[in-house]
Amino acid sequence: MVSARGIRVVLSGKEILDGVDLAVAPGEFVGLIGANGAGKTTLLRVLLGVLKPSAGTVSRPRRGGAVSGIGYLPQKVALDPDAPLRARDVVALGADGGRLGPPLRSATLRRRVEETLQAVGASQFADQRIGELSGGQQQRVLLAHALISEPALLLLDEPLANLDPGSAHDIVLLLDELRRRRNVAIVMTAHDMNVLLPVMDRIVYLAAGHAVTGPPDQVVRTETLTRLYGRPVRVLRAEGRVMVLADDEAPQLPEAAHHRQPFDEPADRVGT
């Protein structure tokens, strides 16, 4: 599906990632977790192919000998609230994506748009202008935009940012259903790991340029994250939520400071 080996990224003289490995299988749900500036978005951009790593190799899905089959939802999408675009128009814009061959015929495109809108639960507001929709509704439309080209891999950068807890929960359940039904692999960054814990197969926890990968219950442990950060941290579980905190006897970790409360800070501050 997609694999990355020995990824190293240096931007403006600063090392963002160093020796990161990742392999994703069809239908797998992988969460990229880490504090602000840990390199989550950078790793996604490397996987997508828009950022060349300083070292390391990446293998991506191919169709007809060409790299294709990737749907991408960036962290920030500029949607003009006054644009005369309906939800279905936004979805249709993603139809040809990296697909090879002639453009889709209008009847085929209309059918594909309707099927994709239905798949993400957006049929009921398909004819509303995109600027009139709520945040959760817009995310469904943008997800449909990424899905309409029938990708084998979805790369999602903070799709839950600025959503209320109920909408975030609904989007996560929708993603889980889609990957099971379509066997599409999902790699998703998130500021709050808790909302992903019920659906993630594996977690990639990034800190200090390095990563630990594995099942969440094996990665999110005091001893594992202490080794990753290179200094003491504690993992606490309470009322079904997980918190990662700097150890009381150690200086507060810049990388972990946002974990001093459960992962509920706004995601729009995530760095590279």
The third-level CATH classification (topology) of the domain covering 2-61+152-269 is: Rossmann fold (3.40.50)
User: Rg of the chain over CA atoms, in angstroms?
Assistant: 19
DSSP codes, 110-149: HHHHHHHHHHTT-GGGTTSBGGGS-HHHHHHHHHHHHHTT
- pLDDT tens per residue across span 64-106: 544 468 999 998 777 777 888 899 999 998 886 544 444 456 8
Phi then psi dihedrals of residue 47, to 5 deg:
-60, -40
Q: Is the pLDDT of residue 143 over 90?
A: yes
Looking from the CA of 247 toward its CB, the CA atoms found within 13 Å total: 11
Listed in order, the ranges of the chain carrying CATH 3.40.50.300 are 2-61+152-269
- DSSP strand E in 12-115: where? 14-24, 29-34, 55-59, 62-63, 66-67, 70-73
Cα–Cα distance list, 86 to 98, 129, 148, 149, 163 (Å): 23, 4, 16, 19, 21
Q: Is the pLDDT of residue 256 over 60?
A: no
Question: Which token pair is 259?
Answer: 């974990």
What letter would DSSP give residue 201? S
Question: Which token pair is 144?
Answer: 């449909």
Sheet holding 14-24, edge to edge: 14-24, 2-11, 55-59
Alpha helices in the chain, H assignment, sequence order:
40-48, 87-92, 106-119, 135-147, 165-182, 216-219, 222-229
Q: Is the pLDDT of residue 268 over 80?
A: no
**How much is the pLDDT for 248?**
57
Q: Is the pLDDT of residue 187 over 90?
A: yes
Question: What pTM value is reported for the model?
Answer: 0.82
Q: What mean pLDDT is predicted for residues 195-218?
A: 93
Nearest to 155 by CA among 212, 98, 224, 111: 98
Number of Cβ within a 10 Å radius of residue 248: 8
Question: Which token pair is 175?
Answer: 């993603």
- pLDDT tens per residue across span 32-69: 998 888 999 999 999 999 999 999 999 987 655 444 68
